[in-house]
Chain A
Amino acid sequence: MRHFLLKLLKTKPRPSAKFIDMAETAALLARGTEKPSRPAFLNRLRNGDEVAHLITLIFAAAILLIAGLLVLELFRSSVEARHKFGWAFLFTRKWDPVAGQFGALPFIYGTVVTSAVALLISVPLGLGAAIFLSELAPPRISDALTFIIELLAAVPSVIYGLLAVFALVPLLRDPVQPFLQRYLGFLPFFPGPSYGVGFLAAGVILAIMVVPFIISISRESLLAVPNEQREAALAVGATRWESTWQVVVPYARLGIIGSVFLALARALGETMAVTMVIGNTPQIVTSLFATGYTIPAVIANEFTEATGDLHLSALVELGLVLFLLTIIINGFARLMVLATTRRGTAHP
């Protein structure tokens, strides 16, 4: 790219341009007028290829422009809160718009807890399904089922929210949560009254939303494992399950872990479904039955009515925290998935 731009800006004309210039000059001299000057820059664009290169480059650079603007705006709009609270913002518990006290901790806690619950449910489920689809199922059934599961990823968040409010919450409130309380009540996660809404409800709906990603990417990683590995394990007498669990899955573990990270990044940023069932209470409690708040939920609820510029900039700062968190996790995840798919197709 640098080479291309330098070429563009160099003033020395290329041979073809020179000949055309000479011809033009001759024609103009014949007419007796002075040769008009051309910016050297445009001489570079004689060639249609160069034009295409430039145009498409500009559009590709739009991505960088967007990313840059995004980061800039997030920093700019959160400057008040950042200057007032500094790093303490991340560790303060209190969120009090009236007193002008803003702390991100309850929201970070809520975001992390709901995502953790989501992963706890979706990873075993997703990995199990991926193993079935890649190892056991006949190819056509595997493709058909994967197709259906990938359709789950296309369902919009509000619709998951709709289902969560009217189907999941009543289910949790009556049969499920009292059941958990009765049999697992000794754990610190299940005390307290059972509202139905709260961390557990948000975690469960998030699990349903991210499971297609885990299945899809894990399945691809598992399929990328060379057959020789499986055959080698079977050759030394392992059962198919042992070969899968002890050889294939570890071989594909980078891709699987990558898929978990991608699912995590997705769960952290989910807004609508969580907002509808989290209970909107900025608090830090261990009980999963309790209501809480997440970063996307508080932004969605309070943004249009942030009283005062400090409140607004605190919300944008929360958005910045979320942005950075998802960027880091995503960046990490992509590297892992990249490593495993490259490795999987390389020679052992």
Chain B
Amino acid sequence: MKAKELTDQYLHSGHGCCPGCAMTIVLRTAFQALGSQTVAVITAGCFGTISGTFPVSPIKLASYNTTFPSAGAAGSGVRAALDIKGDFKTTVLAIAGDGGTFDIGIQALSAAAERNDDYIFICYDNEAYMNTGIQRSSATPWGAWTTTTPPANLKSQPKKDIVQIMVAHRIPYVATVSIAYPEDFIRKIKKAKETRGFKFIYAFSPCPVGWRFPSEQTIRLARLAVQAKVFPLYEVENGERYTLNVEPEGIPINEYLKPQGRFAYLKEGDWERIQENIDREWKRLMNRIENQMI
């Protein structure tokens, strides 16, 4: 499947998402790659609250909204119900934002991964609580402005490494995906669908409102994140087999940071510090790929 073949077949217009929202592109891509034989489990967060209003739904898949912390548990419940009825061909897809994955949802997510329940968990990471109005989460990067990390007190901790946390569960499949690389994205979703056990798909989701950039720049930001090594595209099988899928150009970090208003309050030396962190993380990833171990 090519990027231009992506349609709104399973996610129509009529949702309340902001112009330039990456999450809708993430989910449209995931839905289309999976097809109609899918049950979606949705938690609170951007998608849960603005994905439509009764009695109409823009989602053309059987879908179930659950509470903020419970994507991991609800995904397991739907899978078990389908299995006991003998339906092994329907895919279950649990959908959560960074809050529902990194923070309030991590307990149920970790438990489902540990049980290796057979479904796909996709996280759209827009790096803060965007639906409630841009509050920091543990996915917010160091130095970013949010409404709870104001200019005088910018986020002073690094982003939680959710991929390594999920890899440490030794689940069959962990992959990072980007809307700027749709063919890679679609291939990974299809691979997850064919893999038995727990699959974690981690999608980068630039947010024009929360990151303070023009809404037509969403895909560009997603591409810059990959090329600047902020969001490497890779996959990990069974907790140990690492594969890098896109070789980044390694553009300087300021090319990625500069278009975003949330990084406007960085002080002298901060960009260098961020660049050093990126380079260190990249080296770590390269070591894992070369040594093929955690």
Partners in one complex: no
The chain A residues found within 8 Å of chain B, CB to CB, are: none
